[in-house]
Amino acid sequence: MPPDRDTLMLMLERMYRIRLFEETVIEIHSTGELQGPAHPYIGEEAVAVGACAALRDTDYIAGNHRSHGHPIAKGGDLKRALAELLGKQGGYCHGKGGSMHLADFSVGILGESGIVASSVPIATGAALASKQQGKDFVSLVFFGDGASNQGACHESMNLASLWNLPVIFLCENNQYAITTSYKNSVSVDHVSDRAPAYNMPGVLVDGQDAIAVYEAVTVAVQRARAGEGPTLIEALTYRFEDHSLGLDRIRKSAYRSEEEVEEWRKRDPLDIHEEALISTGVATREECDAMKSDVVVLVAEALEFARESPYPEPSDLFEDMWADPIPAP
């Protein structure tokens, strides 16, 4: 089912948001303003945006260390996200989480996670809850090609299949885990080839094409809401930047060639989506540019907000540890 015009435009806007957010992050990292770790999502925007456009606010997502694209795609707030990256009180987690731990439970973002594959069981559990509670909420987890080799993925997919849970396993196969090619870490041609091992559908989709991702996820969402169980989707994509900011020690070319990177840059998901919209008359180039300009302002405002947001107070250190507090030991 192709997305309607509003959805297509929303997708475009969210792709701009992610791209410009990440560009800002790279910039403030290069100046030293941002010091913590950050893993840019540039090049992969179509995956998160296509997927989240197929979800409702009440649906759940969980993610990983490459952590800015997912929450923004799900409707997270740029201000609070950027404030979090700067460790500020106004951040999503009051500065406690930083880049790798963005979360916004109010729109179903159950959190990004720094330990690779660790949120796969979590998302499976949210789907279990949904079923137990008689709700039709779907749970979707983003994980990488590298993550797919973790036992937690195997166990979760097996559980989800056995219990027929409304969960979507969305593998962002950007072809590398830091420097390791998935050809040296995944023993089959495609992660989605493992779906039959769990008796669930496996779908391989072009991860540079937001509409293709949207359509694949929509089918999986329908299945999940209808009580027909989980789906494994592999979106083939590419990370345009370094694994993480500050990891310049590993030069791109040492494990992937400049040519390969250039080849993939030609398939920029933003270009592909813009062209799809323009060529089908959904939007004009001018409309796209205008939208982008608006997002530039949004991101600039977010940066301003983040900068102005105060740091947490020392007394905040002990806040947020316990829901039912206990005395200090």
User: What minimum distance in Å lies between the beta carbon of 292 and a second copy?
Assistant: 42
User: What is the rounded distance in angstroms from the CA atom of residue 90 to the CA atom of residue 14?
Assistant: 22
118 binds another protein (CB under 8 A): yes
User: Of the ranges 18-26, 152-160, 217-225, 269-277, which one interacts with another protein (CB under 8 A)?
Assistant: 152-160
1, 6, 134, 151: which one contacts a second copy (CB under 8 A)? Answer: 151
Q: Which of 130, 139, 161, 309 binds a second copy (CB under 8 A)?
A: 161
CA 114 to chain centre: 13
Least spacing, CB of residue 179 vs ligand TPP, in Å? 9
Of 64-72, 149-157, 266-274, 291-299, the window that binds a second copy (rule: CB under 8 A) is: 149-157
- Interface positions, 213-272, toward another protein (CB under 8 A): 247, 249-250, 254-255
Distance of CA 207 to the CA centre of its chain: 12
Q: Which of 145, 206, 215, 234 binds ligand TPP (CB under 6 A)?
A: 145
What whole-number distance in Å separates Cα of residue 273 and Cα of residue 275?
A: 5
Residue 226 burial (CB count, 10 A): 10
- Tokens at residue 316, please? 């905040």
Q: Cα separation of 13 and 16, whole Å?
A: 5
Q: Please work out the total of residues on this chain that contact Mg ion, with binding judged by CB under 5 A.
A: 5
| 115 sits near ligand TPP (criterion: CB under 6 A) | yes
If residue 273 lies in a helix (H) or strand (E), which one and from where to where? helix 269-279
Least CB distance from residue 195 to a second copy, whole Å? 9
Query: What does the buried/exposed string (b/e) look like for 298-314 if buried means 16 or more CB atoms within 10 Å of the residue's CB?
Result: bbeebbebbeebeebee
According to CB under 5 A, which one of 40, 111, 144, 230 is a site residue for Mg ion? 144
Alpha carbon distance 273, 210 (integer Å): 7
Report the residue number, 17 or 65, with the smaller CB distance to Mg ion.
Answer: 65
Quick check: 119 binds ligand TPP (CB under 6 A)?
no
